[in-house]
Chains A and B, each alone.
Chain A
Amino acid sequence: MKAVWKEKAIKLILWATASTSILIVIGIFVFVGKEAGHFAVEPGLKELLGSRWVPVSFQKESFGLLPLITGSLLVTALATLLTIPFGVGAAVYISELAKPTEREILKPFIEILAGIPSVVIGFFGLVVLVPLIKGIFNLSTGLTALAGAVLLALMAIPTVVSISEDAIRSVPASFKAASLALGASKMQTIWKVTVPAALPGIVAAVMLGIGRVIGETMAVMMVTGNAAVITASPFDSVRTMTATIAAEMGEVAFGSIHYRALFCVGIVLLLATFGLNIIAQKFLKRYRMG
């Protein structure tokens, strides 16, 4: 009888550890949401809709999230524009056109990029990319949204390449064979048959890449100049939501309005990445079933 009890106990322990993941997710929403909730009571959520982020001021502080959200959106949009052609292009090349040995080297090498710490990429951006952008576009400073976007694209590319390549390779060989047998060229087959068939996987890859981009902190904080202004120009300095939290949290007093405002920024970030993730999972499921 002892053995039965032991079996039951082990199962219970494993069940309990499996639930910690759920508890952590709930904990994240609770502990980030709690401080944001205090902000909603005093001074009220309306404060967040303003267009000025001036957390420290002698006259009147204001905690409008708009410049931070537009900053994040601008950097993310630019990074996405760079990531899609490079990420998908490289995935197509590696899976369909590269020689077998070339493929064995290229994929792990690009995946190395995923392992480089973001602060090192940010540092590289600071010493190489920022002066380069300043020189090429003849700007007063290279610390721009564009610099942040290029670094973010670099960080998203390994994710996009890796997942897209898997999706493209899992397209049944019979699809390609049929297309080739009908007289289509290799390129026609790739663009008209293989890539469309792998599209849900590619879309999921891009969305997971974007999710990583929105949440990235250190690299953007180091190269975007951190000016909280509303702009659509890639050549302006911007301040993203992530950088705002990281840069200001060290200096705020615990429990102050500014402290709570930063948690509000956190909850916006959390909801944005959560939404993206859910949509990406839907697409991933579709390609895995297909």
Chain B
Amino acid sequence: MRSAAAQKIICWLIRGMTYLIVLVIASIIIKVLWNGLPVINWEFLTTMPRRGGAEGGILPAIVGTLVLSLGTIIVALPLGMATAIYLSEYAKAGRFTRTVRLAIVTLAGVPSIVFGLFGLGLFVIFLRFGASIIAGCFTLACMILPIIIVASEEALRAVPKPLREGSLALGATKWQTIYKNVLPYSISGMLTGSILGIGRAAGETAPILLTVAAFYLPRLPKSIFDQVMALPYHLYVLATQHPDIEKVRPLQYGTALVLLVLVLGVNLVAIMLRIHIRKKYRW
């Protein structure tokens, strides 16, 4: 470092890079807000699309995304929480535990489109669910499982050891200890992680593309074996596949805004909850 001037320059350089990232994020959000807000009205949110998506609302896509997120969490939450309880409370160091951990890390790294292929092969074709809500939910659940497991395990481990030891010393069994003395203090932390998982599931396109999403289906689903439209796929279709892309541009912004609000809103709730929990339990 030859001089103080060189140091200053480097400092400003990385500061500039950091704020450039911030600027780009802000511009994505502002751009979508600015162009999307004028499109949003009651009709846009609550009516069916007409004429191949060129007119009308996006109700079936909103309902589709909500249904898929809900279904995914119903499948993934019990699985993820139970796995986390096993890993944090029961597992001993050994081959089985190592394999489970390797599996979780592997799952976290599998590309979303490969989950799509897996869902197509297993749920849609092998189990004969067809392209359906249930196939989509199972596929998305496999994808967000590692998020839920990792967050839940962290929440469980944050509960101090003496709480467990005290309970065991009083003669409670292991499960009674977990159920009465560990879960009550970690459940909100576990839910926080799961909310982040929902955000991921709601925004993903690639897996549902192969397992559930309908190109254009202006009606609401009647059973879990129906196909549905979904916000991310609808945005993709409007932005790249529609015959008149420029004309439906406002609808694209509107759809993008609804999706963004939904996903970021869900994440925001998770972050607020996390701050709240950290304040509530300080060991």
The residues of A with any CB-CB pair to B shorter than 8 Å are: 3, 6-7, 10-11, 13-15, 17-22, 24-25, 27-28, 31-32, 34-35, 85-86, 89-90, 92-94, 97-98, 106, 108-110, 112-113, 115-124, 126-128, 154, 157, 161, 185-188, 208, 211, 214-218, 221-222, 242, 245-246, 249-250, 254, 262-263, 266, 269-270, 273-274, 276-277, 281
Total inter-chain residue pairs, C-beta < 8 Å: 236
Tell whether A18 pairs with B145 under 8 Å between CB atoms, given A24-B107, A119-B205, A187-B7: no
Interface residue count on the B side (C-beta < 8 Å):
83
Q: Flag if A215 contacts B113 (CB, 8 Å).
A: yes
Q: Flag if A34 contacts B205 (CB, 8 Å).
A: no
What residues of chain B lie closer than 8 Å to A185, measured between beta carbons? 1, 4, 7
**Distance between Cα atoms of A124 and B259 in the complex (Å):** 13
**Distance between Cα atoms of A256 and B17 in the complex (Å):** 49
What residues of chain B lie closer than 8 Å to A18, measured between beta carbons? 82-83, 86-87, 91, 100
Q: Flag if A246 contacts B206 (CB, 8 Å).
A: yes
Tell whether A120 pairs with B259 under 8 Å between CB atoms, given A112-B267, A218-B236: yes
**Distance between Cα atoms of A89 and B16 in the complex (Å):** 9
**B99-125 interface code vs A (CB 8 A; 1 in, 0 out):** 110011111111111111110111001
* A211 CB, nearest partner CB in chain B, Å: 5
* B1 CB, nearest partner CB in chain A, Å: 5
The residue of chain A having its C-beta at the shortest distance from the C-beta of B215 within the complex is A250
Contacting residues of chain B (177-231) with chain A, CB-CB under 8 angstroms: 199, 202-206, 209-210
**Distance between Cα atoms of A14 and B13 in the complex (Å):** 51
**Distance between Cα atoms of A174 and B79 in the complex (Å):** 43
Of A6, A13, A31, the most chain B CB neighbours within 10 A belong to A31
Q: Flag if B103 contacts A218 (CB, 8 Å).
A: no
Q: Is B25 an interface residue (CB 8 A)?
A: yes
What residues of chain A lie closer than 8 Å to B15, measured between beta carbons? 93, 97
Contacting residues of chain B (227-282) with chain A, CB-CB under 8 angstroms: 232-233, 235-236, 239-240, 249, 252, 256, 259-260, 263-264, 267, 271
Q: Which of B103, B111, B240 contacts A25 (CB 8 A)?
A: B103
Q: Flag if B109 contacts A276 (CB, 8 Å).
A: yes
Tell whether A270 pairs with B90 under 8 Å between CB atoms, given A121-B28, A154-B24: no
What residues of chain B lie closer than 8 Å to A92, measured between beta carbons? 14
Q: Is B157 an interface residue (CB 8 A)?
A: no
The residue of chain A having its C-beta at the shortest distance from the C-beta of B207 within the complex is A217
Q: Is B21 an interface residue (CB 8 A)?
A: yes
Tell whether A7 pairs with B256 under 8 Å between CB atoms, given A13-B82, A20-B79, A187-B10: no
Q: Flag if A112 contacts B99 (CB, 8 Å).
A: no
The residues of B with any CB-CB pair to A shorter than 8 Å are: 1, 4, 6-7, 10-11, 13-15, 17-18, 20-22, 24-25, 27-28, 31-32, 78-79, 82-83, 85-87, 90-91, 96, 99-100, 103-118, 120-122, 125-126, 142, 145-146, 149, 173-175, 199, 202-206, 209-210, 232-233, 235-236, 239-240, 249, 252, 256, 259-260, 263-264, 267, 271
Q: Flag if A31 contacts B205 (CB, 8 Å).
A: no
Tell whether A116 pairs with B28 under 8 Å between CB atoms, given A214-B111, A270-B111: yes
Q: Flag if B145 contacts A21 (CB, 8 Å).
A: yes
Q: Flag if A24 contacts B103 (CB, 8 Å).
A: yes
Q: Which of B22, B83, B90 contacts A11 (CB 8 A)?
A: B90
8 additional contacts (CB under 8 A) given A3-B173, A7-B175, A113-B25 = A19-B96, A32-B118, A86-B17, A123-B252, A154-B24, A187-B7, A217-B113, A218-B236
Q: Which of A25, A31, A93, A208 contacts B14 (CB 8 A)?
A: A93
Q: Flag if A124 contacts B142 (CB, 8 Å).
A: no
The residue of chain B having its C-beta at the shortest distance from the C-beta of A270 within the complex is B114
What residues of chain A lie closer than 8 Å to B100, measured between beta carbons? 18-19, 21-22
**Distance between Cα atoms of A188 and B239 in the complex (Å):** 49
Do most interface residues of chain A lie in helix, strand or loop, or is the interface mixed? helix
**Distance between Cα atoms of A7 and B177 in the complex (Å):** 11
Q: Which of A86, A122, A218 contacts B21 (CB 8 A)?
A: A86
**Distance between Cα atoms of A161 and B103 in the complex (Å):** 25
**Distance between Cα atoms of A19 and B86 in the complex (Å):** 10
What residues of chain B lie closer than 8 Å to A27, measured between beta carbons? 118, 122
* B14 CB, nearest partner CB in chain A, Å: 4
Tell whether A249 pairs with B209 under 8 Å between CB atoms, given A215-B111, A270-B111: yes
The residue of chain B having its C-beta at the shortest distance from the C-beta of A105 within the complex is B22
Q: Flag if B118 contacts A31 (CB, 8 Å).
A: yes
What residues of chain B lie closer than 8 Å to A215, measured between beta carbons? 109-114
Q: Flag if A93 contacts B18 (CB, 8 Å).
A: yes
What residues of chain A lie closer than 8 Å to B240, measured between beta carbons? 126, 221-222
Q: Flag if B263 contacts A24 (CB, 8 Å).
A: no
A-B contact pairs, 11 of them (CB 8 A): A14-B86, A24-B107, A124-B31, A127-B31, A187-B7, A208-B109, A211-B109, A215-B111, A246-B210, A250-B209, A273-B111
Q: Flag if B82 contacts A17 (CB, 8 Å).
A: yes
**Distance between Cα atoms of A206 and B79 in the complex (Å):** 30
Q: Which of B32, B103, B175, B236 contacts A222 (CB 8 A)?
A: B236
**Distance between Cα atoms of A222 and B99 in the complex (Å):** 37
Tell whether A115 pairs with B264 under 8 Å between CB atoms, given A14-B85, A215-B113: yes
The residue of chain A having its C-beta at the shortest distance from the C-beta of B106 within the complex is A25
* A107 CB, nearest partner CB in chain B, Å: 10
